[in-house]
Amino acid sequence: MTNKALRLSIVCVVVLCLASCGGGGGGSTTSQPSPPTASPPSAAASVTISPADLTLLVGESRQLTAITRDQAGNPLEGRSVTWITSAPTVATVSAAGSVAGVGVGSATITATSEGKDGSSAVSVISSVTFASVVAGGAHTCALTTSEAAYCWGRGESGQLGIPVPTTRCGTSLSPCSVVPVAVEGGLAFAQLAGGGAHTCGLTSDGSAYCWGSNVNGQLGDNSTTTRSAPMPVTNALRFASIDAGTQHTCALTSDGAAYCWGLNNRGQLGDGTTANRSVPVAVTSGLKFQLIVAGGFSIGHTCGLVSSGDTYCWGDNERGQLGIGSGGFRLEDVAPHPVPALVSGGTKFIALTAGLGRHTCGLTSTGAAYCWGENTFGGLGNGSTSDTPAPAAVSGGLAFVQVIAGGFIGHSCARTASDAAYCWGENELGAVGDGTTVDRLQPSAVTGGLSFSSLDAGFRHTCGRATTGAVYCWGSGGVGQLGTNPPSPTAVPTKVVGQP
């Protein structure tokens, strides 16, 4: 055998040995571990749709969510879902679960996954009739004659009472609804209040519910979790009235006891502290109030009216909005005012409004309107642009039956006994409603010749319910808060869509 053949034979023996002996470990064999066996995926045991009941206006769309669960009730992710509608001439549904109202009637939307079905009952109506309206920061809500709540406008924090809309509005592409949408939960409300990015309501038995932004506990549900549907306020109390500021909420019991919750950095909750509260806390001082109003653009203040006609305010006083005779940027003015303080001047009021800004207004028994606080663009209506830390009469000599303070840097509106509407103050986007965008330092008649049974004002928009029963809005409208489609600002009252 040649040397080359001998070398090849040795190589072959080594290769065979390695293959059969596991690398030459003295003739022993080693078993390789088997790969782990994957657990079979859990089978779907049920499918539910949220919301389970839905009311739509013709032309309105909403997103449905299908939740697939296993036998133990655990949600299953990534499961395929098929959507169908029982009545495509009433409501259609997309492959992704977006349902649209196309005709008046009822339909059942069904979601199927792995042989299991869930359904949502959808009612489509042609129009709604509203009995009252409230304006929030950049959203608006109203109650129907049957006490159902509808909202429209900006909705990124759940303030509309529905999951965050897929529609985008404005230059910021904010989630919005340009038409009224029914608040989830089917509750009947006797009263609503619009905050900066949250909404609250009282049922007929005085139970309080809130929804929307909750970063400072302003929903009162003992959490700071944002909610897209009404959540009960945590307490056993029943309230007679409720009002919402930008980031805090206050309410009165039937015997006049005041409670507040939410942001408290300037003492706007009135409990003697500056600690935020996620559940209602009693306002200190032992006063019994007939009315309580919560205001404030970015911080917050609160005022209450007692039976004598005296007014007490607490919270932020940076621009004199507490009406205690001082205000400005001095240290004592920007410091917290956590207990009620008597408004100076001795004027007796029968009504108050704080709005979502840094000014406050009151109404006397003779119909004279007084305002105090920030006046940068004439929101106090006294003919000047100087802040006033004590009540000052609104110019013009008109007698009013209602006065409303707006937000941002200030506009106000009022209604006469003949139901004529007047507004004044900041008007860049038409919140005064007189057909112009000129700031007004004293009351200017709202154009259009409409008569109003009620008014309310948000950050930079105003809404009113006309005596005809229709709701109109004007001012800033880029994110749908005016209820017009397409959304845009307007300087004249414009009818909210979806009404008769």
CATH number of the structural domain spanning residue 381: 2.130.10.30
- Whether residues 237 and 267 share a domain: the answer is yes
- SS3 (DSSP) at 2: coil
Query: In angstroms, rounded to a whole number, what is the distance separating the alpha carbons of residues 271 and 285?
Result: 9
- SS3 (DSSP) at 4: helix
464 vs 159, 331, 364, CA distance in Å? 20, 39, 22
- Whether residues 293 and 421 share a domain: the answer is yes
- Whether residues 381 and 480 share a domain: the answer is yes
Contact call for residues 423 and 407 (beta carbons, < 8 A): no
DSSP symbols for 211-235: EE--TTSTT-SSS---EEEEEE-SS
In a domain, 38, yes or no: no
- Whether residues 332 and 264 share a domain: the answer is yes
- Whether residues 234 and 296 share a domain: the answer is yes
CATH of residue 62's domain is 2.60.40.1080
Helix (H) or strand (E) holding 140: strand 139-144
- SS3 (DSSP) at 379: coil
Q: Which of 125, 157, 191 is the last residue of a domain?
A: 125
- Whether residues 227 and 304 share a domain: the answer is yes
- Whether residues 157 and 114 share a domain: the answer is no
In a domain, 377, yes or no: yes
Overall number of domains in the chain? 2
Q: What angle is formed at CA 241 by the lines to CA 236 and CA 244, rounded to 5 degrees?
A: 95
In a domain, 470, yes or no: yes
- Whether residues 173 and 111 share a domain: the answer is no
- Whether residues 146 and 275 share a domain: the answer is yes
In a domain, 15, yes or no: no
- Whether residues 78 and 204 share a domain: the answer is no
Contact call for residues 310 and 291 (beta carbons, < 8 A): no
In a domain, 68, yes or no: yes
Q: Which of 125, 156, 179 is the last residue of a domain?
A: 125
In a domain, 455, yes or no: yes
Contact call for residues 142 and 57 (beta carbons, < 8 A): no
Q: Which of 107, 125, 143 is the last residue of a domain?
A: 125
- Whether residues 138 and 183 share a domain: the answer is yes
What is the tally of helices (H) and strands (E) in the chain?
2, 38
In a domain, 356, yes or no: yes
- Whether residues 192 and 54 share a domain: the answer is no
Q: pLDDT tens track of the chain, all 500 residues?
A: 444 343 434 333 333 333 333 333 334 444 556 666 556 678 889 999 998 988 899 988 889 999 999 998 899 988 999 999 999 999 999 999 999 999 999 999 999 998 999 999 999 998 999 999 999 999 999 999 999 999 999 999 999 999 999 899 988 899 999 999 999 999 999 999 999 999 999 999 999 999 999 999 999 999 999 999 999 999 889 999 999 999 999 999 999 999 999 999 999 999 999 999 999 999 998 999 999 999 998 899 999 999 999 999 999 999 999 999 987 667 677 789 999 999 999 999 999 999 899 999 999 999 999 999 999 999 999 999 999 999 999 999 999 999 999 998 999 999 999 999 999 999 999 999 999 999 999 999 999 999 999 999 999 999 999 999 999 999 999 999 999 988 999 999 999 999 99
pTM score: 0.87
In a domain, 29, yes or no: no
- SS3 (DSSP) at 281: strand
- Domain housing 241: 130-495
- How many other CB atoms are there within 10 angstroms of residue 303's CB atom? 31
